[in-house]
A and B are shown apart, each in its own frame.
Chain A
Amino acid sequence: MFTKFDVLETIQMVEKEHLDIRTITMGLSLLSCIRDSARETANKVYDLVCKKAEKIVKTAEDLSGEYGIPIVNKRVSVTPVSLLCAAFPKEAPLIAKALDDAADTLGIDFLGGYSALVQKATAEYEKEFILTIPEVLASTKRLCASVNVGSTKTGVNMQAVAMMGEAFKQAAYLTRDADGIGAAKLVAFCNAVEDNPFMAGAFHGVGEADVVVNVGVSGPGVVKKALEKIPEADLTEAAEMIKRTAFKITRAGQLVAKEAARRLNAQFGIVDLSLAPTPAMGDSVAQILEELGVSTVGGHGTTAALALLNDAVKKGGVMASSRVGGLSGAFIPVSEDIGMIEAAAKGEINLDKLEAMTCVCSVGLDMIAIPGDTPATTIAAMIADEAAIGMVNNKTTAVRIIPAPGKTVGDEVSFGGLLGRAPILPVHGTDSSKLILRGGNIPAPIHSFKN
């Protein structure tokens, strides 16, 4: 039985420390929607999504009211759309429109899964599909796209990497009136996971059940407050404190996930143990690293502090949930984290340090604005670097980068809401085009041959 101090602690977490369930994401298999034509498939897709996810917003609101914990986002992820349109890839935008319309009807904030999995090679229909991504992101509001360009088992598909460099440029250019927001809805992955509830990279893998509920928990503010109570603790004790806090946060997520799945007649998928920041004050992962003792995030020691944080969150969370999955770790999106935004504005954090940080935490170069005139091959080279880190280290890495049209270092982009704002970070002006234009694959590392 809980004590009155436990009750007050939970309320304090919600009221003052931004404890929330970041997202309830319903994963839906759309394979049963495939028909002879794109038009018929799109109609079927719209109907299925609207029917299966009909109650997601209401259920989330009910649970939030009953447990007294905010549930910030309600989302849907679907089977990679490229698989639905293998027979008519050029008409994939019809499916995109149907999905965006369904998201609008349901009142959810994002729908993910305009995706292709091309980690080994790019089939002809996948090529056609990837070419449609920029235009789709410009013409839809809530749809998110992702492409898996590599994995530890297959190596990195450099043709796909080159295409993604172009896709980011195009997506940003086509949404140039809104600071290139199209690129903020696009992710290039290595080792993409099939049960990720977080956007923009969520999609519903083909190995999943028909209808699944995945939940992403959050609470960087709660972790920071817990660390503030032990300012003189050594790092072993700090890690213990983070573990205990992550346990409590994850238990809340587990409860909500199980109950949401029951009410929505879905399978309980996973709880994603991630610390996801928002631009709000006191909801920052960067500020946890600063609380641990790095005076400004991006300085020396940042990677070490992040490694400790990421590991402790996992260890605390794993015991709290019966099924853990998704990305599970600390997120470091620049535009969505007030500590990151401030460090970037002061010039204390740069792309090289961010890349180093991605070696020890989940995801990768996330929500980073760069000059609009950055060549596509340079963006592709950044994707290749991140994919190599993921491939060699057996972990998920990703790139969500915004080449802000018409802007350069010293300017800022602003997307509002959870996507936040970000100063433009400088990129190396050196030419990487030869590496990218060679094509081919970066072979899988020797340690991937485990059979």
Chain B
Amino acid sequence: MRAVVTVTGKDNKGIIAKVSAFLSEKGANIEDISQTILGEYFAMIMIVDISGVNEELAALAKECAELGRSIGMSIYLQHEDIFNAMHSV
């Protein structure tokens, strides 16, 4: 099962490190990362395999949002199906 992690907010040091450390600790495997910086604005999107994660997706998503708040970013973790549904025919 794959999920999409989206991190947005003001650019800062160590964002990728903190997020990937958290995900690896949970047992998620990062398959793809893409990152954009527009002025001060930072956006990173990761595709992660969460088959090895030992908790429910909704709970993991909640923890990601909390991590985001603690580092001053907005973090979403969502099942990839929502994007496949909305953006492909």
The interface of chain A, by Cβ under 8 A from chain B, is 1-4, 6-11, 15, 61-62, 64-69, 248, 251-252, 254-255, 319
Which residues of B30-63 have CB atoms within 8 Å of chain A's CB atoms? 34, 36, 43, 45, 56-59, 61-62
Q: Give the Cβ gap from B57 to chain A, nearest Cβ, in Å.
A: 5
Complex contact A4–B85 (CB within 8 A): no
Contact with A along B57-86 (1 / 0, CB 8 A): 111011000000000001011111111111
| Chain A residues, CB < 8 A from B78 | 66-68
Complex contact A11–B56 (CB within 8 A): no
| Chain A residues, CB < 8 A from B84 | 1-2
Complex contact A62–B87 (CB within 8 A): no
| Chain A residues, CB < 8 A from B76 | 11, 68
Tell me, in angstroms, the Cα distance from A80 to B43 when the chains sit together: 51
| Chain B residues, CB < 8 A from A69 | 82
Q: A-side binding surface: helix, strand, loop or mixed?
A: helix
Whether a CB of chain A sits under 8 angstroms from the CB of B28 is: no
Complex contact B4–A7 (CB within 8 A): yes
Complex contact B82–A1 (CB within 8 A): no
From B8, B36, B58, B79, contact of A61 by CB (8 A)? B58
Complex contact A65–B57 (CB within 8 A): yes
Q: Give the Cβ gap from A82 to chain B, nearest Cβ, in Å.
A: 39
Complex contact B56–A62 (CB within 8 A): yes
Complex contact A65–B62 (CB within 8 A): yes
Q: Give the Cβ gap from A36 to chain B, nearest Cβ, in Å.
A: 45
Complex contact B87–A2 (CB within 8 A): yes
Nearest CB in chain A to that of B56: its residue: A62
| Chain B residues, CB < 8 A from A62 | 56, 58
Place the interface of chain B in its size category: 20 to 34
Complex contact B36–A65 (CB within 8 A): no
Q: 23 A-B contacts, Cβ less than 8 Å apart?
A: A1-B84, A2-B86, A3-B87, A4-B34, A8-B6, A8-B8, A9-B87, A10-B83, A11-B8, A61-B58, A62-B56, A64-B58, A65-B57, A65-B61, A66-B57, A66-B58, A66-B78, A67-B78, A67-B79, A67-B82, A68-B82, A69-B82, A255-B82
| Chain B residues, CB < 8 A from A1 | 84, 88
Complex contact A252–B61 (CB within 8 A): no
Residue from the set B34, B74, B79 with the largest chain A CB neighbour count within 10 Å? B79
| Chain A residues, CB < 8 A from B58 | 61-62, 64-66
From A4, A65, A254, contact of B45 by CB (8 A)? A4
Q: Give the Cβ gap from B9 to chain A, nearest Cβ, in Å.
A: 12
Q: Give the Cβ gap from A63 to chain B, nearest Cβ, in Å.
A: 8
Tell me, in angstroms, the Cα distance from A237 to B3 when the chains sit together: 34
Contact A66-B86, Cβ < 8 Å, known A4-B36, A61-B58: no
Tell me, in angstroms, the Cα distance from A68 to B56 when the chains sit together: 14
Tell me, in angstroms, the Cα distance from A64 to B59 when the chains sit together: 11
Tell me, in angstroms, the Cα distance from A7 to B45 when the chains sit together: 8
| Chain B residues, CB < 8 A from A248 | 86-87
Known: A4-B34, A7-B6, A10-B83. 12 other contacts (CB 8 A): A1-B84, A3-B87, A7-B83, A9-B87, A11-B76, A65-B59, A66-B78, A67-B82, A68-B76, A252-B82, A252-B85, A254-B85
Q: Give the Cβ gap from B86 to chain A, nearest Cβ, in Å.
A: 5
From A8, A64, A65, A251, contact of B86 by CB (8 A)? A251
Nearest CB in chain B to that of A249: its residue: B86
Tell me, in angstroms, the Cα distance from A107 to B80 when the chains sit together: 29
Complex contact B86–A10 (CB within 8 A): yes
Tell me, in angstroms, the Cα distance from A2 to B58 when the chains sit together: 22
Nearest CB in chain A to that of B43: its residue: A8
Nearest CB in chain B to that of A12: its residue: B8
| Chain B residues, CB < 8 A from A10 | 82-83, 86-87
| Chain A residues, CB < 8 A from B62 | 65
| Chain A residues, CB < 8 A from B85 | 251-252, 254-255
